[in-house]
Structure 1
């Protein structure tokens, strides 16, 4: 247990003691104590006179308690003054649980308001002890209200205010009340379990005594000589031998042996059963479960760092405030020990059936799953428990169970089981920690919380590229938003730039607000967020060209990487480039090798010059995540996938098929042998829009960062920056295709495929360009297109006019 938690638990206990003293002092108020205290000055706490006065008080809490009771009850709010004492207990409970101070603060305000209200009501009433309950303040408020709005109006007002405050407080503290109810229910379940165990132990003890008694009776029947005298002996007058010998006709006495010495035998003399005490118990005690304490991250106010900076071109820039993120209610970290005990028993019972002996067991409760660490007996093979994944899932009635055999760095096997109280991890909670505020990572990326509740932060600059895969709705787009938002909260526009490629068109459009700060511009493209496959390949080749130019700068400067270059030449410092592709499958289907080639080159070479890739896909198949791409992405994230085959494609092992969705993921860093299970935080589209809009409203940079025009050396390349009618937007095979269709006087995609050796997709795009430039007519089903140009001379004239545009 860390020192911080010990301090807070001590403070909570101290507040609870203060509350007990406060309420106890008022509860034992006695009017006679005032006369004794009147003869004692307020500062006299030592001396004989103070001792005599304290001995004569009726209040067991001494002089301080008696003075406090006399002040509050006689001169303030009467006995109603005890109600605010409840706030001390709530404060102590909240401080000890390491939660926010907002709930106890609201509770204190509510308690003070209700105390004044009850005191006023007692002041309005005519009960015998109403004055003692209301006190001076209550009577004064009652007299003021009855004078202003009358006696009836005062009652109506006070009842309405009390009812309204109670309704509001019920809504505010509904979660705390439910937590208290669950805690009491769990405590009751624990007592019931303990009572059941005690009853079973007593029952087993009685049954054991009954069996022992029946066995003793059976032995007595089987050995009558040991229990009764011989028939020839005289029971009435025993004869005592004079010489210490035996009297004729008398058997020697058989000494009573301990019960543990008797062993029942069969006909062949072999032992049949042993009484208790001869051998070990048939069943050993089950190992006790050890609940590992979750990590409590040190909270920090992210807005207390340096928020205002100046860019290189002297434009002021302000980091987004954490208040742009949604404020959420505190998550309860209560651990239901009875539920854990039940899960442990079912798990051990199933393992016992398959002869798997467990020596020790511990549990770590995460946001959505519980990790049971099992230390197995030395003779148990690890492969034996890995084959029981489906059997354990059925026994636990769990949605999905993941087995870690073994846990890296531990002599234990891990079993991850979903629990019944999943908690949402919010983006604000993972940013408001000291680890993120004081991080020294170059490009800190927040991934979420681990099973031990630790905030997991990694450096994109050391990954150096990240491959993300998962089924639709598993959380890929939210994960990308989390990573980009964490970079926006930690990096200025001078340090980082984004290249965003969004074939789905709807996932990254919020980042258009960053066009004057974080987004790059392309030489030959108007868009800054790329959505079309042809323009995506053009953008990737621009990044490749930028990579080559940066390597030339590093060579001239005589340094090895971008960090050394920026330190050596701060006036010419280069920003880091983060290339985000939200759906790789769409690009691979339309582009194939034209997409794979620049991605592979960037993955292999771009790390040293500060260019990093984040590539996501919902189809983790071998035709999308090819071997070349996979080999150059050592860091990977797998959200929930449909099958074990997809899990092996992305992680080289199973496990992703057993995830729970909604941000539940496995992160495989390049430095660890096995993936880490992390719960990705949730950030809504509204929060992303608030962050980007806040940045977009600031003054933009004077000079945007522009990527160079790529070198298109391959004339068979199918991609160009646009699909319009300009020269740069036309396919390199456009002219040859035009001459071909004019020569044959028919236009069809199959003709271009056969004669120009083009793929279907590229041939179809060339045909669309021919139609857009007035060379062929529109498609007519399966018939060839009509050629609108009659001869080659007319075609040459048309092409010359197109070149002049």
Structure 2
């Protein structure tokens, strides 16, 4: 026992780091710190604010780590103070540059890398502005856009010229979701015939490659809220099931989700929690309650939740973003006027494929539904679709 004690060394976790060479960057500098015995990268994560004050810089982030050392990046000035002068641009198929990250890199929404996104934020936080930026950036691309606007159509109606379909009531959403599930089935059959696992496989001829579809959902909570549980339970269950199936299967078959909401919480039902797990891209603007920030970021990184709660109301468009690198960043989107997005939608209206072309059936006018049609589509019809 005495021999074993002699072999053990005292460790001090709270000990000054051993710094390596300081390397300049456009926004500041990076430096490598060697860990002392007993230290972990988490110890440096918890001390980043202290380091920023000690070094007299705007912020310090842990950007990478290896066994025995971590790399820290210091930013001298806030790159998100203003994003004026930047433009929303398409950056490849299903990629849109919408702003700037806190490390100076472009803020990109890339559906090919991260297929489904959850975007939350309070009124005037920049949530709707990000959706406008996406519409402006996706409008000139060969993709189909589908809108679910549970605010009665006030958000997406100005862009209807570029939308292949638009639903403004939950019953209409149920119909469109049923059609999207049917599209997935037909694309499954196409992939089986050509022995490929997804529509992007090189063996699938370009001439028959399906058109990718981006589904924009505004006010997700309205899909799950029930004023009369007895009358609306089946409809909500059908919507939740279909939306979840699309999130689980859509990536391989070219259907992508961008889901927005002012408030997202577990009290909306288990369907929301299950859907959240499939939305791997997260954008959290300023929110009014802790539950929404935790619902958006809590399963990813607790520090991201704290950062989101510190976003100031006088900086609209600022958000905590978690995307392809599985690390959170502060970001700010470019301000896009509604008139700019509407102009882009009108300019590229001819690129919007008809709904009948996408579904392979007759066009559906969701603005003229009767009660019998709604009841027909709310019946469960998804048992044969694999989870």
Q: Secondary structure at the match of 1:466?
A: strand
- 2:372 is matched with 727
- 2:161 is matched with 513
- 2:294 is matched with 648
* Number of residue pairs aligned between Structure 1 and Structure 2: 339
Equivalent of 2:255 in 607, 611, 615: 611
Residue 408 of structure 1 deviates from its aligned partner by 5.1
Give yes or no for the alignment of 1:455 onto 2:106.
Answer: yes
Equivalents in 1 of 2:367, 2:344: separation in Å? 31
Matches within 5 A, 1:620-635: 620-624=264-268, 626-635=272-281
Q: Secondary structure at the match of 1:562?
A: coil
Residue 685 of structure 1 deviates from its aligned partner by 1.1
Residue 423 of structure 1 deviates from its aligned partner by 1.6
Matches within 5 A, 1:457-472: 457=108, 459-472=110-123
Tell me if structure 2 keeps the 8 A contact 1:382–1:406: no
- 2:146 is matched with 499
Give yes or no for the alignment of 1:602 onto 2:246.
Answer: yes
Give yes or no for the alignment of 1:576 onto 2:224.
Answer: no
Change (3 A) 1:421 1:567: closer
Equivalents in 2 of 1:405, 1:699: separation in Å? 43
Matches within 5 A, 1:695-706: 695-696=348-349, 705-706=357-358
Equivalent of 1:665 in 306, 314, 319: 319
Tell me if structure 2 keeps the 8 A contact 1:561–1:609: yes
Q: Secondary structure at the match of 2:330?
A: strand
Matches within 5 A, 1:427-446: 427-428=86-87, 431=89, 441-446=92-97
Change (3 A) 1:682 1:700: closer
Matches within 5 A, 1:503-542: 503-504=150-151, 505-514=153-162, 519-520=163-164, 528-542=165-179
Equivalent of 2:327 in 674, 690, 694: 674
What's the RMSD between the two structures over aligned residues?
Answer: 4.1
Matches within 5 A, 1:257-656: 357=16, 359-360=18-19, 375=33, 378=36, 383-384=42-43, 386-387=45-46, 404=61, 407=64, 411-413=70-72, 419=78, 422-428=81-87, 431=89, 441-457=92-108, 459-489=110-140, 491=141, 495-504=142-151, 505-514=153-162, 519-520=163-164, 528-564=165-201, 567-568=204-205, 570=207, 572-590=208-226, 592-624=236-268, 626-642=272-288, 645-651=291-297, 652=299, 653-654=301-302, 655=304, 656=308
Tell me if structure 1 keeps the 8 A contact 2:144–2:352: no
Equivalents in 2 of 1:659, 1:480: separation in Å? 19
- The structure with the larger Rg is 1
Change (3 A) 1:539 1:546: same
Change (3 A) 1:394 1:538: farther
Q: Report the structure, 1 or 2, having the larger strand content.
A: 2
Normalised to the residue count of structure 2, the TM-score between the two structures is: 0.71
Residue 411 of structure 1 deviates from its aligned partner by 1.3
Equivalent of 1:683 in 336, 348, 352: 336
- 1:230 is matched with none
Tell me if structure 1 keeps the 8 A contact 2:75–2:103: no
Residue 382 of structure 1 deviates from its aligned partner by 5.1
- 1:284 is matched with none
Residue 723 of structure 1 deviates from its aligned partner by 8.6
Cα deviation, 1:523-563, whole Å, max 9, x if unaligned, reads xxxxx321111111221111111111221222233332212
Residue 669 of structure 1 deviates from its aligned partner by 2.3
Q: Secondary structure at the match of 1:615?
A: strand
- Range that drifts further, 455-464 or 685-694: 455-464
Tell me if structure 2 keeps the 8 A contact 1:545–1:708: no
Greater relative CO, 1 or 2 (CA 8 Å, sep 6+): 2
Residue 587 of structure 1 deviates from its aligned partner by 1.0
- 1:66 is matched with none
Q: Report the structure, 1 or 2, having the larger helix content.
A: 1
Equivalents in 1 of 2:51, 2:288: separation in Å? 20
Change (3 A) 1:701 1:550: closer
Tell me if structure 2 keeps the 8 A contact 1:408–1:674: no
- 1:155 is matched with none
Equivalents in 1 of 2:182, 2:115: separation in Å? 19
